[in-house]
Amino acid sequence: MFKKIMNKKLLKNQKGLTLIELLAVIVILAIIAAIAIPAIGNIINNSKDKAILSDAAGVLAGAKIAIADGACGDTTQDTVTCKEEVLKDVFEGELDPNDKVTYTKADKKYIIHYSELGKIRNTTKFTVDGFYKAGDTNISEEALNKVMNK
């Protein structure tokens, strides 16, 4: 009997959250969301940009193989251009008809023209010598290596 009286007394003393407490919790959650959502958005954009740069590196790797095999034309010339029709055989991703890789023997430089590079959003983070403006679709191998390490 005593236990029943105590249980009823305990139940009467218990109260739920007040409206003020509930509003305080909602405000705190809103502040956390306001901070977290832009940070998550930046992480997603940076990962998309890194994926584009990684694809450009894949295009370059495929072009090097194709140039070494002579699939891109006469390798005795000063400049060898490996065009999209050859690159699609050595690169699994999607390519634009204007995508190409040019190798200049005198400078020993590769220049990648990859249309997806124009879609990079965070141009301030991925800025290096020779690759710095929004919409730029050309990058040298040296600049690509630098920007991939950022």
Is the pTM higher than 0.85? The answer reads: no
Residues 6+ away with beta carbon under 8 Å from 44: none
The tens digit of pLDDT for each residue in 136-150 reads 888 888 888 888 887
In DSSP notation, the chain reads -HHHHHHHHHHHH-----HHHHHHHHHHHHHHHHHHHHHHHHHHHHHHHHHHHHHHHHHHHHHHHHHHHTTTS-TTSSEEEEEHHHHHHH--S---TT-EEEEETTTTEEEEE-GGGGG-S-TTTT-BTTB-STT--EEEHHHHHHHHT-
The tens digit of pLDDT for each residue in 37-79 reads 988 988 898 899 899 999 999 999 999 999 988 899 888 889 9
Domain boundaries, the chain: 20-148
For residue 64, what pLDDT is reported? 92
The tens digit of pLDDT for each residue in 117-140 reads 888 888 777 777 656 566 788 888
**Across all residues in the chain, what is the average pLDDT?**
84
pLDDT band at 15 (very low <50, low <70, confident <90, very high): low
d(CA 47, CA 37): 15
